[in-house]
Amino acid sequence: MSCIMIINGPNLNLLGKREPEIYGTTTLAEIRDSCQKLADERGVELEFLQSNHEGAIIDWIHEARERCDAILINPGAFTHTSVAIRDALSAFNGPKVECHLSNVHTREEFRHHSYISPVVNSIIIGAGWRGYPMGLNYLIDSLADKK
Ligand code: DQA
């Protein structure tokens, strides 16, 4: 069975309560539940993780090299700052999706640049919580194409 790792970066544990006019009212637990339901329906294993710490996220990406086939990541603010997360993702060979709930390009200028985008296969921006199942479907289809 294929394994897909979904990694959430800083402050995403506050989803639902945090600036709902930007990020919506859906909580991270609700996003996890819809991703798990989709993973069950499509017959893949899911690891759904969140951390506020850059090093923990890098360690998980390294672990994914051993036990996962694809990664979906919402790096939160680390998108705009972290060369280290980009390097870790670059060293992961399976398909990768970068996902943002909000449309970062309609927001402050510092959010317009992503260190992550050049090292992923697909970017989903501004689709709210629905971006996660969209990205997950894409990754499952990509893995199926390779078989
Ligand atoms: C975000 C966008 C980032 O700019 C921001 O720092 C976040 C969330 C999003 O999902 O829209 O924490 O990644």
Does this model's pTM top 0.85? My answer is yes
- Ligand 1 centroid – CA 97 distance (Å): 14
Please give the chain's pLDDT, 147 residues, in tens: 999 999 999 999 999 999 999 999 999 999 999 999 999 999 999 999 999 999 999 999 999 999 999 999 999 999 999 999 999 999 999 999 999 999 999 999 999 999 999 999 999 999 999 999 999 999 999 999 987
Phi-psi region of 134 (alpha: psi -120 to 50; beta: other; left: phi over 0): alpha
CB of 20 within 8 A of CB of 42? no
What is each CA distance from 55 to 14, 21, 31, 51, 100, in whole angstroms? 20, 30, 23, 9, 20
Residue of 62, 80, 100, 105 marked catalytic: 100
Interhelix angle 131-146/28-42, nearest 10 degrees: 30
Is there an atom of ligand 1 within 6 Å of 100 CB? yes
Torsion of CA 12, 17, 20, 25, to 10 degrees: 90
Dihedral sign, CA of 126, 6, 56, 26? positive
